[in-house]
Amino acid sequence: MKKKHLLLVGLLLLLLIAGGSFYYQYWHQQQQEKTAVKQVARAYTKAFSRQDFKQMVRYVDHKQLTGGDYRYTSKQVVARNVAVFGRIGANQLNVKNLTVRRQKPKQYQMTFDLHLQTMIGPLNVKHYQAAIQLVKHKWRVVWTPTLLFPHMNGTDTVQLQWQQGKRGKIVDRHGKALAVDGQLTQAGMIPDQLGQGHTRTERLTAISQQFDVDLATLKQSLQQNWVTKTSFVPIKKVKQQPKLTGVTYRAVSARTYPSGAASAQLIGYVGPVTAADLKKHPQLQSNGTIGKTGLERYYDAQLQGRDGGTITINNDDNVVRTLLKRKKSNGKTIKLTLDRTKQEKAYRQLAGQKGAIVVMDPRNGQLLTLAGAPSYDPNQFVAGISQKAYQKYAQDKAQPFLSRFTQRYAPGSTFKMITAGIALDNGTITPATTRRISGLKWQQDRSWGDYQVTRVKDAATENMTQALVNSDNIWFAQTALKMGSQAYLNGLQPFFKPKLKLPLTMQPAQISNNGKLDRQILLADTAYGQGQLLLSPIQQATFYSSVMNQGNMQLPTLIAGQAAKRQAVLKQASADQVKQALVQVVADAQGTGHALQIAGHNIAAKTGTAELKLQQDTTGKQNGFLMAADADQNRYLMVALLEDNGSDAVIKATKPLVESFY
């Protein structure tokens, strides 16, 4: 009995071992099989998501492309996918939730969801299904029209009804357009008119040369998935329509800039959406536009319109299923405080010189002009600027892309009004304070070495008004030294502390490199607007508004209806006394701003010339400045700059603009 029992136990153990081995082999085989199926599913969906439909059909069973209402070849499957997804502007296809499940021997079921962007917005499609079968020792997808979109059959089509959301306008204070959607002419290729072989190459070469577009770019455009023989394949926007075989033209909506170069540096321009743009802003469409520079870029999110429409599955004229429905919306209109007429006038007065003109309403901070020169034509960029034209701009030493109204400069003698106001505030001077100065050069003591402060007019005695009328550097240097660096800094800080809330890229105003005035020469130079002092023309206008506003500095604004703050920086009496002195800068026949005089009007002004010499008593570059303001009704305050010029040239250039304010 014992032996029989042991024999039975051994037999059972052998059976268990054999069964376990068989089960393990079966399980291992199933795992290998499932892994192979998953690899095919991943390869198919990866090619599908890339819209590489030629690669995709390699994983399809070519002998199972026939159904009740369709009979396809592999090439027709590719063409069907291209037509369906090209028609809706599909991009950024992303397959999600991919699974494979065994249904029966030699057959699995693949399921997945799809997220994609279309011409009218994002679309989520759920429950794609397809069988994967073993065909001649290879796993292959059984393709049906439901792999285009679920529920599609062989006779269904996908239709797009598209409504374009318009980009918002940028307008001036009176509603005049500064950036608006208009119409341009688009040149495009018709593939079946280009011919084949050598003829095609010749025609493409002629197109490349005519429109200054790389031949490789043209060929790449023709190879896009959506392109058919009769498609209109865009080349670029053009102003003329030369006759070329294979080329036709159509009117298209395009951004236009009525003010052209006069406002280009402020408004900027739009351009085609790039791959980098899509990565940052997935809601954009690959065939859309985006603000590239200026206010077009800053306010792009508000300006962008949203396209609308419907994407449907249709059978003949009947809608079988609606895949996506989206209401279009137009972008917001951005209304500026700018006055387009004054802006264009200011630009013309610069006459191609290197400079800027900023005009502000000092009563509320509204910026009326922000003109810079030289400039560029933004309409060229929208139309598709040639490489040659772009290089001409880029290599221009005058830097037409530079917004000089936001660039920082040493303000020169215009800053003396601020020094005067601070000195009056803290009692360093009174309006009657008179200084006796001999000669055109001065230094405090021998510790200054060879350095001396210089002036233009040799006036033996001067009070504050006379010092401003004569623009005497020595008078103000002595005032700052008497005041002391700490008292001067205490007076300057309220001007420099506020942050300007403008949609512009601009570095903060600077007193000095380290924010201190810890050397006597630096203190003296700062008093008359040099040293390491740096202000943009916009910042200068902001600072100088305090003199016109009874000591209240008015911060600027560029957006209509947007209030800007005021801040008390000087005592009212001090500001008024400086203002009266600035009126004399124009009214006095000996004043540096006398050439600005207009009969019947009181103008407060201060000229300035900032020298950029590396060494005293040598010839060097200089920048000319002018601050001019309405001393009667306070309706305008202008700060103008001309590089490589003196203040006399600035007065000559801007007087017609000042006259237009009356």
Residues recognised as catalytic: 413
**Chain mean position to CA 161:** 31
Separation CA 155–CA 144 (nearest Å): 12
Structure tokens at 58: 């390699």
The 8-class DSSP code of residue 185 comes to E
Q: How far apart are the first and last CA of the chain?
A: 130
Name every residue whose Cβ is closer than 8 Å to that of residue 309 and which is 6 or more positions away in sequence.
119, 120, 160, 161, 162, 163, 325, 326, 328
Amino acid at 223: Q
Q: Which residues of 142-156 are buried (b: 16+ CB within 10 A; e: fewer)?
A: bbbbbbbbbebbeeb
Strand spans (E) along 482-591: 552-554, 566-568
Reported residue count of the chain is 662
Residue among 608, 616, 611 at smallest CA distance from 648? 608
Residue 56 CB neighbours (<10 A): 24
Instruction: Let me know: does 640 contact 626? Beta carbons within 8 Å.
Output: yes
- Give residue 275's Cα distance to chain centre: 16
CA-closest candidate to residue 259, choices 168, 159, 345, 354: 345
Q: Starting from the edge strand earliest in sequence, which strands make up the sheet with 622-630, in order?
A: 366-373, 355-361, 637-643, 622-630, 603-611
Residue (of 541, 519, 528, 536) closest to 423 by Cα position: 528
- Transcribe 572-619 into DSSP letters: HHHHHHHHHHHHHHHHSTTSTTGGG--TT--EEEEEEEEE--SSTTS-
Sign of CA dihedral 638, 644, 648, 651: negative
Peptide bond into 656 cis (omega under 30): no
DSSP state of 165: P
For the chain, how big is the Rg over CA atoms in Å?
Answer: 37
Determine the Cα–Cα distance for residues 195 and 202; give it in Å rounded to an integer.
10
Residues 628 and 605: beta-carbon distance below 8 Å: yes
Q: What is the dihedral of CA 535, 539, 540, 546, to 10 degrees?
A: -140
Distance between alpha carbon 84 and the CA centroid of its chain, in Å? 34
User: What does the block give as tokens for 132?
Assistant: 């994967």
Q: What is the DSSP string of 367-399?
A: EEEEEEES---HHHHHH---HHHHHHHHT-TT-
